[in-house]
Chain A
Amino acid sequence: MSQPDVEGHRSNGTTPDSVTNGRTTIDVDGLEVVYSDGTAAVQGVDMTVPEGEFFGFLGPNGAGKTTSIKVFATLLSPTSGEVLVNGFDARSEAHKIRETIGYMAQETSIDPELTAEENIRFACEAYGVSRGDRDGRVDELLDLVDLADVADKRAEGFSGGMKKRLDAATALVHQPPLVFLDEPTTGLDPKARNRLWEYFQRINDLGTTIFLTTQYLEEADQLCDRLAVLLDGQIVADGSPDDLKRQVGGDVLDIELEGGGAERERAMTIAQTFDAFGDATVTETDEGVSVTSERARQHGTDLLVALRDAELTVTGFNIRAPTLDDVFLAITGEKPDSEPDSNTAEVSQ
């Protein structure tokens, strides 16, 4: 398996010439964060993000994504380790970091009593955008996030997607070279999500380094040049989205079976020895079996026929692209704990 050059490699090839130029915007060495209640949220993270890259932290709830991003954005102090952001130390030069980053929190953060325009104008003033540039910047950002026609409306009446877009605009007022996006699309419908993705892609194409966290492989796949998979406060895998999917090894065929353990055993044996799939990964699930193979799409129906011939009753099936769960399964050999989080608004996959 030929590994692509991981550093700064653009896997999806949407930008003609890579904008990375060898400088690093984030340089982390041995980061650990322990909360006052003793929870070790981040346990030894080392990473670098070159300038211009679209980098993603992928992981389930509670993996330490938000904790890490808050350390980079100077909202939390690291317990130990070195953190350099835009060349500034997170402990001693927090103020310089704040001047050179944009940050979009996981929870939508806007002032609902102010209009869209006033929210952006406040951010301009807060970041010290010079007086002469403010009007232009406000108009430009309202256009960028398609809120120009509601510029004078109070934000409290906006939909979730509009609020997120406004929030994103306020993080960009000072044209920061580095922008942090903490689960920016959680809770949005697919249409709103796609729209946000376009904006992020656009500002990245203009040369802005982006650091994103997400729970969704699809989102990481769509946007990121490079990913680190975070689990229980540690990076367990790192590479381009293609690398990670290659670790999963193809598409996933979920099969629901009638009967119990004995039937599932037989089905697993059949699937494992099924020639057309090559080397497939077969796992038992609550409803039946799950088969992961690069040829699951082409030959999935053949397997269903084979199961029927073996007098097993298939009550349902589904072929899908691998999800974050499958990536974790492939990388760690176990499913991530899906601890329900208070802010887990499900996004339809």
Chain B
Amino acid sequence: MSTPGTDSSAETRERRTDARSGNSFLGDVWVNFKRWNLKAVRNPFVLVVSLVQPIIFLVLFTEVFGNVAGGAVNRGIPGVSYETYLVPAIAIQVALAAAITSGVGLVNDIENGMFEKVLVTPMNRTAVFLGKTAAEMFRIAVQIAIILLLGLVLGADIATGVPGAIGVILVGIVFSLWFVAFSNALAILTRDQESTIIGANLLQFPLLFLSSAFLPLDALPGWIQTFARLNPVTYGVDAARSLVVGEDVMTVIEVSWFGGTLNGVVPGVVVLLALDIVLGATAVYLLSRASSSDVQ
């Protein structure tokens, strides 16, 4: 009837080779990067809406508080308009808002079965989540670029020019990673879309307002100053703001290792990277636990 069945695995291996060309690790990242970008484009509504709130903040705050806040800002950083002061904060807000949707995407994947479907494929699991995260980083980069352009239109000034703008985008990405990890962890723990959105959104406003985002720290009450020193948003905003105004305006860590601007950027980025690693490791641990055992 057929060849003797002594080595079925060798036979299956042979049969497989003509079907699977074999993805590399980067190939697997790319496949998932494409899927998540495609999903983002399919939902232009979400793309637009997640930009609306930061844009409203940018326009309203500069128009309503511009005159009042401008004085407080100028006491700290002379000669800087409130528009210029606010743009890096809004860039960080965009990163924060976009990071929230990362966990929502994961919950949706769990709910519609794609999470499990991907787990039974031979794709590398780390590559799967790297691809998804890369797509989100890409989206954050595009959205921050839009905010920076809008800021220029409204009269903000990026002292460091195009390299500085690219720097702000990179700071935004480094900043977003810890919140991406946080919202994914929340997604795995709750496995519920509403809880993930509410949980992540609840944090958004306290984090933004209890930081150096909208006003210099010394214009704020003491308890807020204390909280702000522990708030990752302060580190992201101060790093991005140093790039925008072209001088060291980092308010919580004073270093003088470099010349000028970098003294404001590097400490913030280092703190954020450390946070990214800690929360990222937590999310990876939760993800690998969710994908290897009690799937039911």
The interface of chain A, by Cβ under 8 A from chain B, is 21-25, 35-36, 51, 66-67, 70, 73-77, 86-88, 95-96, 98-101, 103, 105, 107-114, 118, 122-123, 125-131, 133, 154, 170, 174-175, 177
Q: Are A101 and B8 in contact (CB under 8 A)?
A: no
Given contact pairs A100-B12, A113-B42, enumerate 4 new A-B contacts (beta carbons under 8 Å): A35-B296, A129-B20, A131-B21, A177-B12
Residues of A within 8 A of B120 (CB): 73-75, 98, 101, 103
Query: Known: A98-B121, A110-B112. Contact between A86 and B9, CB under 8 A?
Result: yes
> Do B296 and A111 have beta carbons less than 8 Å apart?
no
Kindly list chain B residues whose C-beta atoms are within 8 Å of the C-beta of A112: 112
CB contacts (< 8 Å) of B75 on chain A: these are none
**B119 close to A174 (CB less than 8 A):** no
Cβ of B130 under 8 Å from chain A: no
* B113/A21 in contact, CB under 8 A: no
A237 to B69, CA, bound (A): 79
CB-defined contacts of B15 to chain A, threshold 8 Å: 177
For B8, B20, B296, the residue with the greatest tally of chain A CB atoms inside 10 Å of its CB is B8
Can you list 8 A-B contacts (CB < 8 A)?
A: A21-B2, A25-B8, A66-B296, A96-B13, A111-B112, A113-B38, A126-B121, A127-B121
From B143-151, B153-161, B231-239, B287-295, the one touching the partner chain is B287-295
Closest Cβ of chain B: how far from A119's Cβ, in Å?
9
Give A75 to B117 CA distance when docked, in angstroms. Answer: 10
Chain B residues in contact with chain A, CB under 8 A?
1-2, 4-5, 7-13, 15-16, 19-23, 27-28, 31, 34-35, 38-39, 42-43, 112-114, 116-123, 292-296
B11 touches A23 (CB 8 A): yes
Among A75, A114, A125, A177, point to the contact of B116 (Cβ < 8 A).
A75
Q: Contact between B16 and A75 (Cβ–Cβ < 8 Å)? A: no
Task: List the A side residues contacting B21 at CB < 8 Å.
Answer: 128-131
Question: By the criterion CB–CB under 8 Å, are A174 and B293 in contact?
Answer: no
Q: List the 10 shortest-distance A-B pairs measured between CB atoms, nearest first.
A: A109-B113, A87-B9, A23-B5, A130-B21, A128-B20, A21-B2, A126-B121, A125-B31, A23-B8, A109-B117
CA distance A86 to B5 in the complex (A): 12
Q: How far is the CA of A126 from the CA of B119 in the complex (A)?
A: 10
* A288 to B180 CA separation, bound complex (whole angstroms): 62
Contact indicator B113/A108 (Cβ below 8 Å): yes
A170:B42 contact, CB within 8 angstroms: no
A residues less than 8 Å from B112 (CB atoms): 109-112
| Complex contacts, B295 vs chain A, CB 8 Å | 70, 75-76
Q: Are A105 and B117 neighbours in the complex by a CB distance under 8 Å?
A: yes
Q: Is the CB of B122 within 8 A of A111?
A: no
Closest Cβ of chain A to B120, distance in Å, is 5
Assess whether A114 is in contact with B121, with CB atoms less than 8 Å apart.
no
A265 to chain B, nearest CB (A): 45
Q: Which residues of B contact A122 (CB under 8 A)?
A: 31, 35
Nearest neighbor of A180 in chain B, beta-carbon distance: B120
Question: Is the CB–CB distance between B122 and A128 below 8 Å?
Answer: yes
Q: Which residues of A contact B4 (CB under 8 A)?
A: 22
Contact of A113 among B19, B28, B43, B118 (CB under 8 A): B43
Instruction: Evaluate contact between B20 and A114: CB separation under 8 angstroms.
Output: no
Bound form: Cα–Cα A126–B120 in Å: 10
Contacts of A177 in B (CB 8 A): 12, 15
Which one, B19, B28, B42, B113, contacts A114 given CB within 8 A?
A: B42
A137 nearest in chain B by CB position: B19
Contact call A113/B20, Cβ cutoff below 8 A: no
Q: Verify A88–B121 contact, CB threshold 8 A.
A: no
Q: Write the chain A residue with the least CB distance to B24.
A: A128
Residues B114 and A110 in contact, CB atoms below 8 Å apart: yes
A67 to B84, alpha carbons, bound, how many Å?
58
Most chain B CB neighbours (cut-off 10 Å) among A35, A67, A100, A126:
A126
**What's the Cα separation between A127 and B19 when bound, in Å?**
9
- Are A128 and B12 in contact (CB-based, < 8 A)? no
Cβ–Cβ contact A109 & B116, under 8 A: yes
B-side contacts of A107, CB under 8 Å? 113
Pick the contact of B292 from A77, A87, A88 — CB < 8 Å?
A: A77
Known interface pairs A75-B116, A75-B120, A128-B21. Does A99 touch B8 (Cβ–Cβ under 8 Å)?
no
